[in-house]
Amino acid sequence: MAADPALKMTRKEFVSDQDVRWCPGCGDYSILANVQRVMPELGVPRENVVFVSGIGCSSRFPYYMNTYGFHTIHGRAPAFATGIKASRPELSVWIVTGDGDGLSIGGNHLLHTIRRNINTQILLFNNQIYGLTKGQYSPTSKVGIKTKSTPQGSIDHPVDPIAFAIGCGATFIARTIDVDAKHMQNILKRAHEHKGTAFVEILQNCPVFNDGIWEDVQDRKSRAKASLVLEHGQPLVYGPAENRQGIVFKDGIPSVIDLAEDDDPIERGVVVHDEHPEASSYAGVLATLQRPDFPLPVGVFRAVEKPTYEAMLQDQVDSATAERGVGDLSALLHSGDTWRI
Amino acid sequence: MTAKNPDGIPSSQNPVSQQPGNSKPAEQLEGIAIRFAGDSGDGMQLTGTRFSDETALAGNDLSTFPDFPAEIRAPAGTMAGVSGFQIHFSSIDIHTPADQPDVLIAFNPAALRANVDDVRPMGMVIVNIDSFNQKSLTRAGYGDDPLPELRERFQVVEVPFTTLNRAALQGLDLSQREIDRCKNFFALGVLCWLYGRPMDATERWLGGKFKGDVLEGNIRTLRAGHAFGETTEIFPASFVIPAAKIAPGTYRNITGNQALAWGIVAAGVQMERNVFLGAYPITPASDVLHEVARYRHFGVKTFQAEDEMAAVSSTIGAAFAGQLAVTVSSGPGFVLKQEALGLAVMVELPLVAINVQRAGPSTGSPTKTEQGDLLAVLFGRHSESPIPIIAPCTPGDCFHAALEAFRMAVKYMTPVIVLSDGYLANSSEPWLIPEVDSLARNPVKHAHPADIGEFQPYARDPETLARPWAIPGTKGLEHRIGGLTKEDKTGNVIYDADNHGKMNALRKAKIEGIAKDYAPIEIDGPPEGEILVIGWGGTLGAITAAVESVREEGLSVSRIHLRHLNPFPSDLGDILGRFEKVLLPELSDGHLALLLRAKYLVDVRSLTKTEGQPFKIAELTEAIHELHASEN
């Protein structure tokens, strides 16, 4: 990734000269600010960074980053990014998508990019609504949501982005919140460090068409109780200090227990978070934790190592070249049976 | 057309020589067309391909036409499962696989029934008589044994291929099924004897493909077939087709798909950039992906995508990253790429998109040929979205078309479409191997900050109107592109009406300017006169043969073949105006005819055919005669 720790860069260098055109109060502003803030710390020169997006509000993102950028077509950003990364593994390739772009029209590309483990960062902004087309329900919208296209309420069962990524065999899966700058910056750094596809769901508020869906996890007061911060090696404990609760698994089924102030959660059987199990079943159970019965987990669900697609592809080029020598066009054209006249 | 002896079949009269290792007399023929036909599992394509390679090595001009069903293995013995391979070879220059085979080898009654009516009257029909039982006759739809009736019309030769092959392979450690699978090589041996083909290349090929008793079995039955031809009384003589007098040089056999693949690899070498091919499997284009995937040591990366949209999108991504990018598909897949190609037009990135056309609409007949995608590739994207189109005209020409497409794409910063077809894809011909030194070298130069002052992603080269190809990794040229309307020069997103129109006009002018690079159209025949026949793509052979044929009958007919279908050559309108009558044969409902009539206001007569089959020469000569006889 041509990371250079000595490289001194500033946030400003990553801000393009284009006016940002999201609605006032949109969660995308905060995500953009955090990405621009993290970029200088990654040690990758601006010219080696590429942002690729599809279509939707989130997909305007590349215009605002002073790096290389490609605003492509609806749902296909992962496929464009695959062509970039497979042919130029040294570039740092970031995919910006949304719940409609990534999980509806682009679901197939998301699936295959993740399963190939192409070393890119996928940032999926989830606001559970179509914003740019003015407010139709999305594949992550809850059953019953009333929108312009569902005046009697949605009858679609939603897909959970984290569970989807687990099903695709993602090697890095995380969830963060648009307004939690510190948490998001940490997750972005972790995603960048990961060798392979890093899938990050960012809970994002749409103040115009779906305002407040993440309010309980966004709000500083309610956040402690509504969300569960995942930290490797730490027990699954959440809630205010005076009213802590923990997650225990009984026969593989999660449930909540109350913890007294002097309880040792681990002794009480609270599960200790582990990002690295080879099997994805544990992360799969975490993905089922949904409000109101459970807190919503945020943080890194899973981080495991697997060879990346572009590295294996480059290995094939290198080994073929080592075995057969650099291709000779004349020898190719004369290979097999030929005759002279 | 190849002249034959009067009854149209090889006969044992006029023996001229004896072939080496052959005790029977041999008769000289100018050329002959043979069709192999059997079940999909009988190995007809392989037998035909091997015979073609031996024929090429014997120095004949040749043209082949594989014609097979879409089903991999339809139920044995049914009409649906019949697979055929026709080869026409000659001591003179030929252009097509021939309208009618002189010889048919039918491995079962279904193959006979599906093909025998195509055979030249009194031609030779060799049947595997072992397969003629009541069950297989019924399965083929024959009520009674057809052979008595066919003996009136053809020279029917009955050979017990199955029995002879089994006898030849006695004692080998092979199952009955494995033994029977070798019988096509027995037939190949017979044919090699009959037409004096060497068998060394086939034995070498078998050695590279099989080992142990399977190898032994195939070689043994091949040789047994040859010996059978020599000893049996069924064939009183063999035939000699002398080598053709063609331009000196080194030749090989090549199919259109192989030539496209090699053209893609060659582009990487000649333009000094790595190649990226993104594709999704589809008949009849997949062989291009298969072939290119073998050449990683040329720095070539192939990517089998999850679908057609990902195939083209990854290709555009690779183009953005600075690669020589190409995607390949056939009609049903190509239409899925159209939205992304519209983006490629908008962002003005160079890439090559190949459509190996097949018979449609919808899934249609996947293994059959057609030219019905011209209007779709030209106009199938929404709004104003011009893309240049190059149509190769022979299997070997596919190599040069691929190279030209890459050069054009990079020079003008545009996607370029190559329009091949199923006939070119699978047919083979002897190909004069080009000297690598004779191929243009066009090393790619990406934009560099030192060469430009203030960088503007949509500033244009004054001559070509191409924008700079600035690629990620280049410090100082960071920029953003996308599908939204671009401001002239800066590339910023803008909704200004005048600018929108201006950008459309600029892109149009850029593509139209490509015609400046074309060589003048070559007119075969007088530059003006009564009749001009125009063709494009894979119909070249049939049209050339037909025009030569009517000229022999005294008509004055001129011929041009269009390689560039967008933009049209600038001298085309003038040429059209110099002829009284213009005939345009197309394997479609007349796509190019529609375009020429609209653009040049010329009364182009359209000869159309949408049967999934190439033109027969006779269909074209008839149309030319009719046109000649018509009032105006």
- Residue B137 belongs to some domain of the structure: yes
Task: For residue B540, name the pLDDT band (cuts at 50, 70, 90).
Answer: very high
CA distance A304 to chain B (A): 24
Residue B7 has pLDDT above 50, yes or no: no
Per residue in B77-124, pLDDT tens?
899 999 999 999 999 999 999 999 999 999 999 999 999 999 999 999
Which one has a higher pLDDT value, B482 or B236?
B482
C-alpha distances out from residue B21 to B107, B229, B549, Å: 27, 12, 38
Residues B447-503 pLDDT 10s: 999 888 889 999 999 999 999 999 999 999 999 999 999 999 999 999 999 999 999
Single residue among B391, B408, B438 that ends a domain in this structure: B438
Residue ranges per structural domain of chain A = 11-213+307-312
Instruction: Check whether B68 has a pLDDT greater than 90.
Output: no
Q: Classify residue B492: in a domain, yes or no.
A: no
Q: Please give the pLDDT value at position A5.
A: 63
In a domain, B517, yes or no: no
| Domains in chain B, number | 3
Q: Which helix (H) or strand (E) holds B626?
A: helix B617-629
Q: Give a yes or no: residue B336 inside a domain.
A: yes
Q: What is the mean pLDDT of residues B427-434?
A: 94
Give the A window 33-72 contacts with B, CB below 8 Å: 45-52, 55, 62-63, 65-72
Where do the H-state alpha helices sit in chain A?
Answer: 27-38, 77-87, 99-100, 107-116, 161-167, 181-193, 215-218, 220-226, 281-287, 309-324, 329-333
Q: Which of A84, A85, A323 to mutate to test the interface with B (most CBs of B within 10 A)?
A: A84
Minimum Cα–Cα distance from B296: chain A residue: A317
DSSP assignment of B373-430: THHHHHH-SSSS----EE---STTHHHHHHHHHHHHHHHHTSEEEEEEEHHHHH-EEE
Q: Do B436 and A313 touch (CB under 8 A)?
A: no
* Domain stop point among B240, B271, B295: B240
State which residue of chain A sits closest to B396, comparing Cα positions.
Answer: A333
Is A13 in CB contact (< 8 Å) with chain B? no
pLDDT for the residue numbered B19 = 57
Q: Are residues B236 and B325 both part of a single domain?
A: no
> Which residue among B278, B315, B482 places its CB closest to the CB of A72?
B482
Nearest CA-CA distance, residue B516 and chain A, Å: 30
Residue with tokens 């003996």: B151
Chain B, window 282-321: residues with a beta carbon less than 8 angstroms from a chain A beta carbon: 295-301, 303, 305-307, 309-311, 313-321
Q: Are residues B210 and B273 located together in one domain of the fold?
A: no
Q: CATH number of the domain that B38 lies in?
A: 3.40.920.10
Of B251, B262, B311, the CB nearest to A341: B251
Cα(A147)–Cα(A145) distance, integer angstroms: 6
Q: Per-residue confidence at B24, pLDDT binned at 50, 70, 90?
A: confident
Cα–Cα distance between A264 and B406 in angstroms, integer? 68
In terms of domains, do B391 and B412 share one? yes
What does the pLDDT average to over A94-108?
Answer: 98
Residue found by looking up tokens 């125009």 in the block: B534
pLDDT at B21: 56
Asked whether the beta carbons of B242 and B91 are under 8 A apart, the reply is: yes
Residue B433 DSSP label: P
Query: Residues B22, B139: one domain?
Result: yes
Q: For residue B238, what is the enclosing H or E element?
A: strand B238-240
Cβ separation B252–A317 shorter than 8 A:
no
Residue A99 has pLDDT above 50, yes or no: yes
Write the DSSP symbol of residue B534: E
Query: In this predicted structure, which of A268-272, B123-127, B229-233 has the lowest mean pLDDT?
Result: B229-233
Q: Is the pLDDT of residue A289 over 60?
A: yes
The tens digit of pLDDT for each residue in A102-160 reads: 999 999 999 999 999 999 999 999 999 999 999 999 999 999 999 999 999 999 999 99
Both tokens of residue A194?
Answer: 């990961």
List the single range of B10-14, B47-51, B396-400 with lowest mean pLDDT.
B10-14
User: Residue B363's pLDDT is what?
Assistant: 96
* Amino acid B91: pLDDT: 94
How confident is the model at residue B528, as a pLDDT? 97
Under the banding of pLDDT at 50, 70 and 90, the label for residue B254 is very high
User: Coil, strand or helix: which one is B528?
Assistant: coil
Distance CA B205, CA B200 (A): 8
Residue B495 within a domain: no
pLDDT at B4 over 50: no
Peptide bond between residue B242 and the one before it cis (omega within 30 degrees of 0): no
Query: What residues of chain A lie within 8 A of the CB of B474, using their CB?
Result: 47
CB atoms within 10 A of CB A222: 12
How would you classify residue B529: left for phi > 0, otherwise alpha for psi between -120 and 50, otherwise beta? left
| Chain A residues within 8 A of B269 when measuring between CB atoms | 327, 329
- Are B305 and B416 in the same domain? yes
Mutate to test the interface with B, among A9, A20, A87, A108 (most CBs of B within 10 A): A87
A317: closest chain B residue by CA: B296
Q: Which residue has the higher pLDDT, B332 or B59?
A: B332
- Token pair of B385 as six digits: 């979205």
Q: How close does chain B come to A87, measured CA to CA in Å? A: 6
Record: contact B481-A65, CB cut-off 8 A: no
Tell me, yes or no, whether B315 and B214 share the same domain. Answer: no
Q: Which residues of A touch B300 (CB under 8 A)?
A: 317, 327
CA-based nearest distance A285→chain B, Å: 29
Q: Is residue B544 over pLDDT 70?
A: yes
Q: Which structural domain range is residue B381 located in?
A: 252-438
Q: For residue B243, what is the nearest residue in chain A, using CA coordinates?
A: A341
Q: What is the pLDDT of residue B61?
A: 93
- The 10s digit of each residue's pLDDT in A199-245 is 999 999 999 999 999 999 999 999 999 999 999 999 999 999 899 99
Mark A130-151 as b/e (b = at least 16 C-beta within 10 Å): bbbeebbbbbbbeeebebeebe
Q: Are B560 and B522 in contact (CB under 8 A)?
A: yes
Kindly state whether residues B60 and B197 are assigned to the same domain. Answer: yes
- Domain final residue pick, B418, B438, B458: B438
Superfamily of domain A11-213+307-312: Thiamin diphosphate (ThDP)-binding fold, Pyr/PP domains (3.40.50.970)
Cβ of A183: how many Cβ atoms within 10 Å? 18
Confidence check: pLDDT of B74 > 90: no
Cα A256–Cα A261–Cα A264 angle in degrees, nearest 5:
70
Tokens 């004779």 — which residue?
Answer: B438
* Same domain (yes/no): B232, B284: no
CB spacing of B246 vs A341 below 8 angstroms = yes
**With an 8 Å Cβ cutoff, is A82 touching chain B?**
yes
Here the ipTM equals 0.97
Place B547 in a pLDDT band, splitting at 50, 70 and 90.
Answer: very high
Residues in A 83-102 with any Cβ partner in B closer than 8 A? 83-84, 86-88, 90-91
Residue B41: per-residue pLDDT: 85
Tell whether B197 and B106 lie within a shared domain.
yes
Any CB–CB contact under 8 A between B262 and chain A? yes
**Residues B38, B147 share a domain:** yes
Q: What is the predicted pLDDT for the residue at B8? A: 37
Query: Average pLDDT in the B299-325 region?
Result: 98
Residues B197 and B112 in one domain: yes
Candidates B551, B492, B399, B501; CA nearest to A329 is B399
Is B472 within 8 Å of A83 when comparing Cβ atoms? no
Kindly determine whether residue B493 and residue A324, on different chains, have CB atoms separated by under 8 Å. Answer: no
Q: Kindly report the number of other CB atoms within 10 A of residue B23's CB atom.
A: 9
Cα distance from A145 to chain B (closest Cα, Å)? 31
Asked whether residue B504 is assigned to any structural domain, the reply reads no
Q: What is Dmax (Cα atoms) for chain A?
A: 95
Ramachandran angles phi, psi of B419, nearest 5°: -110, 95
**What value does the CA radius of gyration of chain B take, rounded to a whole number of Å?**
27
Residues in contact with A167: Cβ distance below 8 Å, sequence separation at least 6, in sequence order:
none
Neighbours of A256 (CB within 10 A): 18
DSSP A92: E
Q: Tell whether B323 lies on the interface with A, counting CB pairs under 8 A.
A: yes
Q: Any residues with CB less than 8 A from the CB of A162 and at least 6 apart, and which?
A: A173, A175, A201, A283, A286, A287, A301
Confidence of residue B23 (pLDDT cuts 50, 70, 90): confident
- Whether A1 has a pLDDT exceeding 70, the answer reads no
Mean per-residue pLDDT, A68-82: 98
* pLDDT attached to residue B40: 86
Average pLDDT across chain A, whole number: 96
Contact: B309, A79; criterion CB under 8 Å: yes
Q: Per residue in B137-186, pLDDT tens?
A: 999 999 999 999 999 999 999 999 999 999 999 999 999 999 999 999 99
Give SS3 for B17. strand
B230 and B256 share one domain: no
A75: pLDDT strictly greater than 80: yes
Instruction: Name the β-bridge partners of A147.
Output: A150
Averaged confidence pLDDT in chain B = 94
B501 in contact with chain A, both atoms CB, cutoff 8 A = no
